[in-house]
A and B are shown apart, each in its own frame.
Chain A
Amino acid sequence: MIFQLIIKNIFRARLRSLLTVIGLVVAVVAFGLLRTVVDAWYAGSEASAPNRLITRNAISLTFTMPTYYKDRIRAVDGVTQISTSNWFGGIYQEPKNFFPQFAVTLPTHFQLYPEYIMPPEQMDAMMKDRTGCLIGRALADQYNLKIGDTIPLQGTIYPGNWEFTVRGIYDGRDEGTVTRQFFFHWDYLNERVKISQPRFADRAGVFVVSIKDPQSAADMSQKIDAEFKNSTAETLTETEKAFQLGFVAQSEAIVAAIRVVSFVVILIILAVVANTMAMTARERTSEYATLKALGFGPTFVASLIVGESLTLTLLGGLLGIGLTFPVISGFKGTIGAIFPVFRVSQETLVYQFFAVLTVGLLAAIVPAIRSARIKIVDGLRHVA
Chain B
Amino acid sequence: MKIPFSYIARNLWTRRLTTLLTAGGMALVVFVFSAVLMLDAGLKKTLVGTGSFDNVILLRQGVQTEIQSSVSREQAALVETNPAVARNSKGEAQVSKEIVVLIGAPKKGDTKPQNVVVRGLTELGAGLRPQVKLIEGRWFAPGASEIVVGKSVNSGFENMELGQTARFAGRDWRVVGVFDGGSSGFDSEAWGDVEQIGQAFRRFGYSSVIARLVDRNHFDRLKSDIEADIRLKLDVKVEPLFYEEQSKALSTFLSILGLALSFIFSIGAIIGAAITMYAAVANRTGEIGTLRALGFRRSSILVAFLGESILLALVGGVVGLAVASVLQLFTVSTLNFTSFSQLSFGFHLTPMIVLQTLVFAAVMGIVGGFLPSVRAARMEIVDSLRAG
Name A residues whose Cβ lies closer than 8 Å to a Cβ of B.
15-16, 19-20, 22-23, 26-27, 29-30, 33-34, 58-63, 89, 95, 154-157, 159, 199, 230, 232, 234, 236, 245-246, 249-254, 257-258, 261, 264-265, 267-269, 271-272, 274-276, 278-279, 283, 338, 366, 384
Chain A nearest CB: distance from B62 CB in Å?
6
Besides the known contacts A26-B268, A271-B28, 12 further A-B residue pairs in the complex with CB atoms under 8 A apart:
A19-B275, A22-B271, A59-B102, A63-B101, A156-B63, A250-B114, A252-B334, A264-B32, A265-B268, A268-B25, A275-B18, A279-B275
- Contact B63 A271, beta carbon cutoff 8 Å: no
Q: Which 5 A-B pairs have the closest CB atoms?
A: A271-B25, A250-B335, A275-B21, A23-B271, A272-B272
Are A283 and B283 interface neighbours, CB within 8 A?
yes
- 21 A-B contact pairs sorted by A residue (CB < 8 Å): A15-B278, A26-B268, A33-B264, A60-B101, A60-B104, A60-B113, A62-B101, A63-B201, A156-B64, A159-B61, A232-B170, A232-B202, A246-B113, A250-B114, A251-B334, A251-B335, A264-B265, A268-B268, A272-B269, A272-B271, A283-B279
Partner of B62, one of A155, A267, A338: A155
Determine if A249 and B112 form an interchain contact, defined as CB atoms under 8 angstroms apart: yes
Say yes or no for B373: interface residue by CB 8 A criterion.
no
Docked complex Cα distance between A249 and B333 (Å): 11
Name the one of B62, B168, B257, B264 contacting A156, with C-beta atoms under 8 angstroms.
B62
Interface residue ranges of B18-56 to A (CB < 8 Å): 18, 21-22, 24-25, 28-29, 31-32
Contact (Cβ within 8 A) A159 B265:
no
B68 proximal to A (CB < 8 A): yes
Minimal beta-carbon separation of A359 from chain B (angstroms): 12
Majority SS at the chain A contact face = helix
Q: How far is the CB of A184 from chain B (nearest CB, A)?
A: 19
B1 at interface, CB cutoff 8 A: no
A278 adjacent to B21 (CB under 8 Å): yes
Residues of B within 8 A of A279 (CB): 18, 275-276, 279
Contacts of A230 in B (CB 8 A): 170
Nearest CB of B to A220, in Å: 19
In the complex, whether B357 has a CB less than 8 A from a CB of chain A is no
Interface residues of B in 112-127 (CB under 8 A from A): 112-115
**Which chain A residues lie closer than 8 Å to B21 at the CB level?**
271-272, 274-275, 278
Chain A nearest Cβ from B54, distance in angstroms: 28
Minimum Cβ distance to chain A for residue B254 (Å): 8
- Interchain nearest-CB distance for B211 vs A (Å): 22
Q: Is B67 an interface residue (CB 8 A)?
A: yes
Q: Which chain B residue shows the least CB distance to A62?
A: B102
Are A26 and B264 interface neighbours, CB within 8 A?
A: yes
* A26 touching B267, Cβ below 8 Å: yes
- Please, which residue of chain A has its CB at the minimum distance from the CB of B19? A275
Chain B CB count within 10 A is highest, among A34, A257, A271, A274, for A271
- Greatest chain B CB density within 10 A among A19, A60, A156, A252 is at A60
- B106: nearest residue on chain A (CB-CB)? A249
Contact residue among A60, A249, A265, A274 (Cβ-Cβ distance under 8 Å from B103):
A60
Interface pair A253/B334, CB less than 8 Å apart: yes
Chain A residues within 8 Å of B58, by CB: none
B279 adjacent to A16 (CB under 8 Å): yes
Cα A251 to Cα B68 with chains together (Å): 21
Known: A249-B112, A249-B114, A279-B275. A27 touches B334 (CB 8 A): no
Say yes or no: A16 contacts B202, CB within 8 Å. no
Shortest Cβ distance from residue A228 to the other chain B in the assembled complex, whole angstroms: 11
Q: Is the CB of A157 within 8 A of B68?
A: yes
Q: Across the interface, do B265 and A30 meet the contact criterion of CB distance under 8 Å?
A: yes
> Within B70-117, which residues are at the interface with A (CB < 8 Å)?
101-104, 110, 112-115
CA distance A268 to B64 in the complex (A): 41
With an 8 A cutoff between CB atoms, is B332 at the interface?
A: yes
Chain A residues near B170 (CB-CB < 8 A) = 230, 232, 234
B169 contacts the other chain (Cβ, under 8 Å)?
Answer: yes
Q: Are A60 and B269 in contact (CB under 8 A)?
A: no
Q: Is there a chain A Cβ closer than 8 Å to B329's Cβ?
A: no
A59 in complex: contacting residue of B61, B103, B278, CB < 8 Å: B103
Contacts of B202 in A (CB 8 A): 232
Q: How far is the CA of A384 from the CA of B282 in the complex (A)?
A: 10
Q: Which residues of A contact B101 (CB under 8 A)?
A: 59-60, 62-63
Q: Which of A34, A250, A253, A366 has the most CB of B within 10 A?
A: A250
Query: CA–CA, A379 to B342, complex, Å?
Result: 62
Bound CA–CA A366/B20 (angstroms): 14
From 253 to 271 in chain B, residues with beta carbon under 8 angstroms from any chain A beta carbon are 253-254, 257, 261, 264-265, 267-269, 271
- Closest CB in chain B relative to A216 CB, distance in Å: 21
B228 within 8 A of A: no
Residue numbers in A under 8 Å from B62 (CB-CB): 154-156, 159
Determine whether the beta carbon of A61 is less than 8 Å from that of B335. Answer: no
Q: Is B60 an interface residue (CB 8 A)?
A: yes
B residues near A269, Cβ cutoff 8 Å: 25, 268
Query: In the complex, what distance in Å separates the CA atom of A154 from the CA atom of B261?
Result: 35
* In contact, A276 and B340 (Cβ under 8 angstroms): no
Q: Which residues of A contact B269 (CB under 8 A)?
A: 268, 272
A256 to B22, CA, bound (A): 27
Closest chain-B Cβ to A51's Cβ sits at a distance in Å of 22
